[in-house]
Amino acid sequence: MLYAKHAPGENLIVQGARVLDPGEAIDAVLDVRIDDGTIAELASRLDPNAHRVIDGTGLVLAPAFVDPHVHLRTPGREDEETIASGTRAAAAGGYCAILAMPNTDPVVDSSAVLGSLIEAAEAEAEVPVGFLASITKGQQGAELTEMAELADAGAAGFTDDGMPVVAPGLMRRALQYGAVTGRPLAVHCEEPTLSRGGQMHEGAVCAELGFAGYPSVAESVMVERDLSLAAYEQRPVHVLHVSARESVDAVRAAQAGGVGATAEVTPHHLCLTDDAVRSLDSNLKMNPPLRSSDDRSALVDALRDGTIQAVATDHAPHARHEKEVPFEAAPFGVTGLETSFAALYTHLVETGLVPLETLLERMTTGPAGIYGLPAPRVAVGERANLVLLDLRASRRVEADDFESRSVNSWLLGERLTGKVTTTIAAGRVVHAS
Amino acid sequence: MAEIRVMRDDLLPPRSTERRHLLSITDLSRDDVERLLATARSFARSLEREMKKLPTLRGRTVVNVFYESSTRTSSSFELAAKRLSADTMSIKASGSAVDKGESLKDTALTLGAYDPDVIVIRHPQIGAAQFVARVTKAHVVNAGDGKHQHPTQALLDLYTLQEEFGRLDTLHVAIVGDVLHSRVARSLIQALALVDARVTVVGPPPLIPRGVEAMGCDVSTDIDAISAADVVYVLRMQQERMQEGANYVPSLREYTARWGITPERLRAGQKVMHPGPMNRGVEIDPRVADAADALIESQVRAGLVTRMAVLYDLLTTGPVGVKVQSLHEVA
């Protein structure tokens, strides 16, 4: 389900780092030896022999991250992102695996399109990448794709992300038929007659700025509907990019009721509120929109208590000229792969809202579990998927520093603490700074 | 309020100061508002003289860029600049390169290349004026950006109220109608809050923005709520909002019956304002529009002197507005 260009595993030794893997209950200063890309030994003071030495002194060595929600814009908008640039961006952000959404041009709705993406990934992906296929043909919300064939061809899951499956009857069929694929169904929850024309969260800031509002209920009614259908069909469902307190409440209630419901949240929804939109910066325009501070605290609470299992960047690159317009004319979406850890470390961990261990879990095991991907672990015998983090380093986010082809980051100019210094994905170093 | 030196014809041309803009009422302090209104009053006196033109902005260039149709705003900005002896250039979206698909950024850069002192812009999209302020070196005046702001309209309304009542604080203004789609309402609510006037917005529930109370106004959906107000400010009912299927109100007929301003709904002596253009017989009864208590023509006259004051203030000493980061500083 994950594809990358073939490269042999490296012989590495990471010396003197604080090894932190909450899942393995490790938090100790250790050396980690990697033979041919596989973790071979964890001990204090290992002999490097002929292995390449990476000095981890003063750094944290943790399982590398998994991003369950990325837009690679390929095929169709290679000017905004390619598999090569998007996976380089992922490497820079500390990711060892990412999942790409199917809302491309053409849509990933046939095994032919999926096959060409897998072929491209095997030629150019720096970091293993998986591809979701669409639930409906052309994401038109009318006919199911050939889900079984797509699953056999390697689809990591199914979603019409970017738009909802509007008709409840069709959503029900997707849940029913999707069972034969063994792959998760991920839903973009938006009731289009409630969100229509909406530019930002409906509330006091929106009232003042004059935008058409995109109310939180436009999301939560759809979350509630999809969870009801999932409960009725006794099928799991993954809720993409939740933004509203009511959505969180619905997910929590469904989980308590035995529904296999999972959810993800983006760094920008965890760090910002609709108040930020006062700047009218088009890099603060995304779907779903930034919501109220009450919504934000519900998201932070849900991330901490595990109602939300995963941080997902919803990395959405856009061409510079398409974002250099008045807010209303700009497309929805912001980038996130290269800034997610630093943003969350600065806004959630340093402020004491979320423990570092929890954040790491929600960026590794959490998202991997949703899609049945192997969880990155610091354990002997595991493929090396590791990230070295400098928790004291601070840097200003600059447009020139991105590996992504697009620079529509909501963090431009902001100073962040926490830096990914090295990423090891599938047994080899894919990023070092 | 010390620096109303405008009236002296021998005044030196104002010196250029740091970049300032008038993008939103939120850019202004109460002091700024009071200074602008005082300047406007001085200009009003100067316009009573036979020679109406002042040399104050001689050699300065004011570019008006209008992406939306406008009579009052565009003509008054143009005349305001001419009365102050500035060179003016007016560009309308139709018939310009905008028709050929030129982006706002490129249009702004093109106009900016002539080094205008002021760009006055009206645009259908929220944030257009901020955007132009970020990509050019000119002072930018927002003459209306989508449903967001129309700060010079609010200033001219304050001027009209001040002239009529002799005070602004403790005045009670009821703003009636389609608040949701009204940049005039947004700017005016903020401006009235700034000078400690009281505001009640009145209209059909779907046309009152959720959370608008946070701007410092009371809200009512009952037209009787206008009775306590000194002034009833009638918003234009935009016909295009009433298209079939929009369902903000079931029909214009029902809107007029419930919220239309008729002589019967007004107290004796209650003043009426309207930003224009009016839909007579829809939001405002023609008898109200033509009555002595209507301040609508005063508003139009106030538009000229208020806009003269804004141009003067931007190009001289007063600290109107905010600095906007340039794109280069941000990106």
B100 is catalytic: yes
Cβ contacts (< 8 Å) between A213 and chain B: which residues? 209-210
pTM: 0.92
Q: Which of A196, A209, A211, A275 to mutate to test the interface with B (most CBs of B within 10 A)?
A: A209
Q: Is A207 on the interface with B (CB under 8 A)?
A: yes
Cross-strand bridge partners of residue A432: A422
- pLDDT, residue B238, reads 79
DSSP B219-278: EES-GGGGGG-SEEEEPP--GGGGSTTT-SSS-HHHHHHHH-B-GGGSPTT-EEE--S--
DSSP SS3 for A129: strand
Q: What tokens appear for B300 in the block?
A: 């139009």
Q: What is the mean pLDDT of residues A100-108?
A: 98
- Which residue numbers of A are catalytic? 314
Look at the alpha carbons of A7, A9, A11, A17 in this order and tell me if their dihedral is positive or negative: positive
B104/A203 CB distance under 8 A = no
Match domain B151-300 to its CATH number in 3.40.50.12710, 3.40.50.720, 3.40.50.1370, 3.90.226.10.
3.40.50.1370
Cβ contacts (< 8 Å) between B103 and chain A: which residues? 321, 324-325
Q: Is A294 on the interface with B (CB under 8 A)?
A: no
Domain ranges of chain B: 25-150+302-324, 151-300
Q: Does residue A266 or residue B95 have the better pLDDT?
A: A266
A327/B125 CB distance under 8 A = yes
CA distance B219 to B201: 5
Taking the CA of residue B194 as centre, how many other CA atoms within 13 Å lie in the half-sphere pointing to its CB? Answer: 21
- pLDDT, residue B52, reads 85
A321/B130 CB distance under 8 A = no
B72 is catalytic: yes
Q: What is the DSSP letter of A315?
A: B
Tell me the per-residue pLDDT of A117-151, one tens digit each, with 9 for 90 and over. 999 999 999 999 999 999 999 999 999 999 999 99
Q: Which of B148, B178, B201, B217 to mutate to test the interface with A (most CBs of A within 10 A)?
A: B148
The answer to whether B122 touches B65, Cβ cutoff 8 Å, is yes
The answer to whether A98 touches A83, Cβ cutoff 8 Å, is no
B146/A210 CB distance under 8 A = yes
Give B218→chain A minimum CA distance, Å. Answer: 14
Residue A388 vs residues A3, A191, A354, A366: alpha-carbon distances, Å: 23, 41, 20, 19
Sheet containing A65-70: order of strands: A65-70, A95-100, A129-133, A157-159, A185-187, A237-239, A261-265, A310-311
B126/A324 CB distance under 8 A = no
Same CATH topology for B25-150+302-324 and B151-300?
A: yes
Domains of chain A by start residue, with CATH: 60-428 (3.20.20.140)
Question: H helices within A196-266, ranges in order?
Answer: 204-209, 216-233, 245-256
Instruction: Decide if pLDDT at A256 tops 90.
Output: yes
Tell me the per-residue pLDDT of B232-246, one tens digit each, with 9 for 90 and over. 999 999 776 666 667
Catalytic entry in B20, B21, B150, B198 = B150
Q: What is the DSSP letter of A289?
A: P
A213/B210 CB distance under 8 A = yes
Q: How confident is the model at residue A187 (pLDDT cuts 50, 70, 90)?
A: very high
Give the list of residues 6+ apart from residue B169 with CB closer than 8 angstroms, or none.
Answer: B195, B196, B197
B198 is catalytic: no
Tell me the per-residue pLDDT of B147-158, one tens digit each, with 9 for 90 and over. 999 999 999 999
- pLDDT, residue B17, reads 44
Question: H helices within A277-378, ranges in order?
Answer: 293-305, 320-323, 340-344, 356-363, 365-370
Instruction: Decide if pLDDT at A425 tops 70.
Output: yes
Which is it for strands A157-159 and A129-133: parallel, antiparallel or unpaired? parallel
Q: Is A199 on the interface with B (CB under 8 A)?
A: yes
Give the list of residues 6+ apart from residue B77 with CB closer than 8 angstroms, or none.
Answer: B62, B64, B120, B141, B143, B152, B307, B311
Tell me the per-residue pLDDT of A23-76, one tens digit each, with 9 for 90 and over. 999 999 999 999 999 999 999 999 988 999 999 999 999 999 999 999 999 999
CA distance B140 to A121: 48
Q: Which CATH architecture has domain B25-150+302-324?
A: 3-Layer(aba) Sandwich (3.40)
DSSP SS3 for A246: helix
Closest chain A residue to B190, measured at CA? A208
Residue A211's φ and ψ, nearest 5 degrees, are: -70, 155
- Which residues of chain B, if any, have pLDDT below 70? 1-19, 99, 240-245, 317-331
CA-nearest of B56, B120, B122 to B88 is B120
User: B interface toward A at CB cutoff 8 Å?
Assistant: 103-105, 123, 125-128, 130-131, 145-149, 183, 186, 190, 209-215, 327, 330-331
Residue from the list B104, B211, B214 with its beta carbon closest to the beta carbon of A326: B104
Residue A432's φ and ψ, nearest 5 degrees, are: -145, 135
Residue from the list A199, A203, A326 with its beta carbon closest to the beta carbon of B131: A326
CA-nearest of A394, A393, A391, A350 to A61 is A391
Q: Is A411 on the interface with B (CB under 8 A)?
A: no
Torsion of CA B102, B104, B107, B111, to 10 degrees: 170
Residue from the list B105, B183, B213 with its beta carbon closest to the beta carbon of A324: B105
Q: How far apart are the first and last CA of chain A?
A: 29
Q: What tokens appear for B291 in the block?
A: 């009555």
Closest chain A residue to B128, measured at CA? A326
CA-nearest of B329, B325, B299, B270 to B40 is B299
Q: What tokens appear for B213 in the block?
A: 């109370």
Cβ contacts (< 8 Å) between A280 and chain B: which residues? 126-127, 130-131
Q: Count the neighbouring beta carbons within 10 Å of the beta carbon of residue A223.
A: 26
Closest chain B residue to A278, measured at CA? B127
- pLDDT, residue B19, reads 53
Per the prediction, chain A carries an average pLDDT of: 97
B330/A412 CB distance under 8 A = yes
CA-nearest of A415, A264, A246 to A342 is A415
Instruction: Decide if pLDDT at A296 tops 80.
Output: yes
CA distance A423 to A92: 7
